[in-house]
Structure 1
Amino acid sequence: MLKFLRSLYFGKRLFNSLFAISILFLISFWFNPLYSFTWVLAVIILVLTILDIISLYRGRGIKADRSLPEKFSNSDLNSVKISIANNYGFRVYSEVIDEIPVQFQKRDFLKTIPLPAYSSNSFEYELKPLKRGEYTFGKLNIYISTPFKLAKRRFVFNKDQQVKVYPSFIQMKKLDFLALDQKISLHGIKRIRRIGHTMEFEQIKEYVRGDDVRTINWKATAKQGNLMVNQFQDERSQPVYSVIDCGRVMKMPFEGLSLLDYAINSSLAFSNVALKKKDKVGLLSFSNKIGHLQKASSKLSQLNLLMEALYKVDTGFHDTDYSLLYSRVKKHITHRSLLMLYTNFEHMTGLERQLPFLKALAKQHLVVVIFFENTEITKLTGINPSNISESAHQTVAEEFAHNKSLMAKELQRHGIQTILTKPEELSINTINKYLEIKSRGLL
């Protein structure tokens, strides 16, 4: 009996009818003939409600299921599929309320779907997580009503399903094509002119317009009777590391995503491209202590190892210890490598404190320092101030933006490669820099 009462609900149509009947009873106090009519109407509503309840509880009910992907991609839209099968011999109306994980703070989820007799239907909705970790879905509640919509029966399915949110593998797949030598044009991706001949020999091919005339193979040309050129490919099996600063400077959020998560998503996409280019990729995270060190490798399983490691990377409110980074790199990364260092500097004094360690790293490795534009401050530089307060804010914003440019120039002055980028353009700019370094043979 208790189970029956917990599953029984009444629709708005019933409450509206009861409200109308009560009004009619009130009016019948002055207009007596209406009193009998109102009683008849009340009995009809009562009988229809009882028949409605009997219809809902006599049938075999419905079946429903929530289908979740194996894992969610952070900062991307992920699909969740709901399937419903109607086992009643008549048309019903379903109201679907899914208990979405608390991280989304979405409490207004409701889908209404009509279901013909003995039919099934499905729909999908999308969720965009902004934090890595485990997400728990609660109950899938479905309220079924007949065409009268006087009563409802609740069905509960899929209790406590869990899904893990990993770094953005969707973004990684979107940028996967950049590993190909013949890249199609895309907004934000630039072509890199190859300089020098530090690449490995690949083959001899027929000359086409645009090939470097310095690569003409005169012996092969004499044999074939046509201009033939040597074709080179980038050097392979070079160690490349994503070095991620997990200190408090990476806690800053932009559009709901922290700088650390932007760096993690970018390093996964960049590592995938580097693996496709036959390089060895590794990972090093650090703050006031070394978090995770994954030695560089070109094995097929390396990308999965990196994804699992990046899933666990987290940031705190500690100051970053670059001296610890230098000592650990010197001890464990003995071969000259490309170090893509994801960090952030908001003031010149912050850069000056860490510059000696960056210079020391640059003597042994090719270091690329990647830090971020403060896009919220940059927006202030483009406004048209209407009062003294806005003018003062704009002046401070311009000073901050100018300091970012000065920091990039200071690093370049000491022979350290830099990327100053907007958070949302991080992956594209990082991969562009990597392709530039490969094409110029800097490593």
Structure 2
Amino acid sequence: MTTRLLLLALIGLIPVMLMPGWVSAVVVAAVIVIAAVVDFFSVPPPRLPGLQRTPGPMVRLGDSTHCILSLVNDSSRRLRMRVRDAWAPSAGAVDTRSRHDLAPGEQVQVRTVLRPTRRGALHADKVTIRSRSLLGLVERQKSFDVPAIVRVLPPFVSRRELPSKTQKLRELDGRSAVMIRGMGTEFDSLRDYVDGDDVRSIDWRASARSQDLVVKTWRPERDRRVVIVVDSSRLSARRCGDGTVFDAALEASLLLTALAAGAGDRVDVIVADARVRAIASSHRSKDPVHDLSVALTPVHPELYDADWEQIASAVVSTSRQHALVVLVTALDEGSVSEEILPVLPTLLARHRVVLASVDDPDLHELAGHREDAEEIFTAAAAEAELLRSRSLQTRLRGIGVQSVTDSPEDLPGTLADLYINLKATGRL
């Protein structure tokens, strides 16, 4: 029923008021019902065999995309209709309703702008069509299943730091050769000795030939191995800052992948909790960051504990040669002590291990408020949690595992700086 039918009913009250009685009321009601029935059967059925959705390209969270809905009038009658292109609320669809007047055989395309608020595969809802006649007293409605999927990649906000980090690597790669040789450096060139150079870098044979002291310079090796393990267990599902811990871990892994792949190293990313959820590699990939983003798009944290024995086995099978293994997980006392520490000897036997975790900014805020008794007790609990984290870092350092913690916004940059430092000192 439409507002026009309601307006016709209001108009029908006028003769009833002028000629009160059952006869006038029955006649007016009969006229309205007959008009509505006749109008209902004159409405063309909303059948559009040519209905089709064409989603736009995949987009990163925070950007906008679109979807094209094609409508074709394959009937022999004119179609006057209203169309609703429905999507899930997280798709952020804008202007989903439109009006159209299609002649037989005519086609129209409706563009719906999407501004997603959640990453992942966003599925389209039904397309609803309301058809009406020229009078417009009654409309006929039908919904159609027209499948379409828009893939929303992780945002990768930290890519703004990539140019500065890449510039630091370029300075290391032959332009500013390191003077201390480590297991991750290779010979670059010879130059004259200057005050302050390490005497261990003197090439005595070359010095004897030139009759001047000559030192060797070294540069970071390329084609090293980096394995990033992203924990997707229940510990990564908690809120931290504007997102979750898992969101911050994805940002850190994307920036490190872009940086290491650009430096010529091979990067493998493993996302796991109780099982391995996704594996991505930069090997033979033209765009490692894009491929990693696509692999991580459908992955969300699950409320399971991480199986670190299985994760360690996946790391060992991924890289049997020496590699930098980055475990992006929560610095939780129970998880680290009972699950991670027992498997670290297996990883440390072949690899250099780094543990990266997201530091909850709310803890520092709670620890700083001490105005009344309640806030003092809260601050004491927050300080105790921070102290446990520092104690765990000290314990990990004692067995040869370097750890970094920072806020969700700063963790990607901090982890990238650690990689650059390991590269510069030849410890990669």
Q: TM-score range by the shorter chain?
A: 0.5 to 0.7
* C-alpha spacing 1:113/1:339, structure 2 compared with 1 (3 Å): same
C-alpha contact (below 8 Å) 1:84/1:121 kept by paired residues? yes
TM-score, normalisation: structure 1? 0.63
* C-alpha spacing 1:243/1:62, structure 2 compared with 1 (3 Å): closer
CA shift for structure 1 position 431: 3.4
* C-alpha spacing 1:143/1:404, structure 2 compared with 1 (3 Å): farther
Q: Which amino acid in structure 2 is aligned with residue 65 of structure 1?
A: Q
Partner of 1:171: 156
Partner of 2:127: 140
Name whichever of 146-155 and 392-401 sits farther off.
146-155
Q: Indicate whether 1:14 and 2:36 are aligned.
A: no
SS of equivalent to 2:419: helix
Q: Which amino acid in structure 1 is aligned with residue 378 of structure 2?
A: H
CA shift for structure 1 position 345: 2.2
C-alpha contact (below 8 Å) 1:248/1:316 kept by paired residues? yes
1:120-158 Cα offsets, whole Å, 9 max, x none, are: 54231223335x5x654342113355797544343645x
CA shift for structure 1 position 329: 4.9
CA shift for structure 1 position 343: 1.1
Partner of 1:335: 321
Partner of 1:250: 236
Structure 1 gap segments, 5+ residues each? 1-9, 184-192, 205-212, 215-229
* Count of matched residue pairs: 385
Q: Indicate whether 1:396 and 2:395 are aligned.
A: no
Partner of 2:118: 129
Partner of 2:178: 196
TM-score, normalisation: structure 2? 0.64
Q: Which amino acid in structure 2 is aligned with residue 17 of structure 1?
A: L
Partner of 2:264: 278
Partner of 1:237: 223
Cα separation, 2, equivalents of 1:62 and 1:41: 38
1:214-243 Cα offsets, whole Å, 9 max, x none, are: 9xxxxxxxxxxxxxxx99975310101012
Partner of 2:141: 154
Partner of 1:79: 65
CA shift for structure 1 position 336: 2.0
Cα separation, 1, equivalents of 2:112 and 2:278: 41
C-alpha contact (below 8 Å) 2:233/2:274 kept by paired residues? yes
CA shift for structure 1 position 339: 0.8
SS of equivalent to 1:96: strand
Cα separation, 2, equivalents of 1:23 and 1:252: 62
Partner of 1:5: none
Cα separation, 1, equivalents of 2:92 and 2:165: 44
C-alpha contact (below 8 Å) 1:175/1:269 kept by paired residues? no
Partner of 1:67: 54
CA shift for structure 1 position 367: 1.8
Cα separation, 2, equivalents of 1:237 and 1:326: 22
1:55-94 Cα offsets, whole Å, 9 max, x none, are: x529997965322247676x55563414355869999663
* C-alpha spacing 1:322/1:91, structure 2 compared with 1 (3 Å): closer
CA shift for structure 1 position 182: 4.0
Cα separation, 2, equivalents of 1:324 and 1:85: 51
Q: Which amino acid in structure 2 is aligned with residue 249 of structure 1?
A: L
CA shift for structure 1 position 372: 1.7
* C-alpha spacing 1:144/1:82, structure 2 compared with 1 (3 Å): farther
SS of equivalent to 1:161: coil
Cα separation, 1, equivalents of 2:9 and 2:187: 86
Q: Which amino acid in structure 2 is aligned with residue 420 of structure 1?
A: T
Cα separation, 2, equivalents of 1:61 and 1:325: 51
* C-alpha spacing 1:64/1:423, structure 2 compared with 1 (3 Å): farther
C-alpha contact (below 8 Å) 1:167/1:264 kept by paired residues? no
C-alpha contact (below 8 Å) 2:91/2:115 kept by paired residues? no
In the alignment, which of 419, 422, 427 is matched to residue 434 of structure 1? Answer: 419
Structure 2 gap segments, 5+ residues each? 169-174, 191-195, 198-215
SS of equivalent to 2:156: helix
Cα separation, 2, equivalents of 1:84 and 1:325: 47
CA shift for structure 1 position 323: 5.5
In the alignment, which of 245, 263, 269 is matched to residue 259 of structure 1? Answer: 245
